[in-house]
Amino acid sequence: MITIITSVALCLIAVVIHEVSHGFVAYKLGDTTAKDMGRLTLNPIAHIDAVGTFIVPIGLALIHSPISFGWAKPVPIDFRRLHHPKKDMIWISLAGPAANLLLATGLSLLLHTGIISELKIGGNPIIFIAILINLFLAIFNLIPIPPLDGSRILIGLLPPAQAYKYSKLEPYGFIIVFSLLYFGIIEKVLYPLILTLMRFLYAG
């Protein structure tokens, strides 16, 4: 139970940072929607989504799933208020995964300092899980399937006509994602990338 609670708490922190990063970059690029709605805060209460924040992570932990993830309420973004909507969409979408990668890197540097071990509080396993969760969230969200961040980036890069056609997949996005998870396809693709990044961070 302690492991489940710890994993859910770490997942909540990671997804909140992920969403706030989207909103912060949008704010810097001209859209104040998230700020006006009080969503540019690290207070988790403002971002909690009952299903994505609790039910899915706890359910996965209870069934001993090799994959642990969740999500918070998406930060509201009004692309009409951006200075350059199509180009800005790319930077806003990259912000979430980039924040998780930076957090994972910072936590790995903390491990390398030896401070956690010296405190003798058993923090190393917690830091390890936190790094793993942040790496997974970063890479998972870069998959180019709507509504994941990777699809927003791809839409921003595609010519308008192709981008419009691709965006039509969004209503079916979660069905596609969970189908790929169910058949283990995402796991087979993501795990090698995550392990490679873990080795890189621990060797740094």
pLDDT tens profile 69-117: 667 788 999 989 999 999 999 999 999 999 999 999 999 888 877 665 5
Q: Classify 30 in phi/psi space as left (phi over 0), alpha (psi -120 to 50) or beta.
A: left
Q: What total number of domains does the chain contain?
A: 1
Prediction pTM value: 0.85
Domain span at residue 197?
2-203
Q: Do the beta carbons of residue 83 and residue 29 sit within 8 Å?
A: yes
CA atoms within 13 A on the CB side of 31: 25
Q: Catalytic residue positions?
A: 19
For the chain, what's the residue count? 204
Check residue 156 and give its pLDDT: 93
Four-CA torsion 53, 15, 132, 110, nearest 10 degrees: -130
Phi and psi at 73, nearest 5°, equal: -60, 130
pLDDT under 70: residue ranges of the chain? 1, 3-4, 61, 63-70, 114-123, 204
Q: Do the beta carbons of residue 20 and residue 40 sit within 8 Å?
A: yes
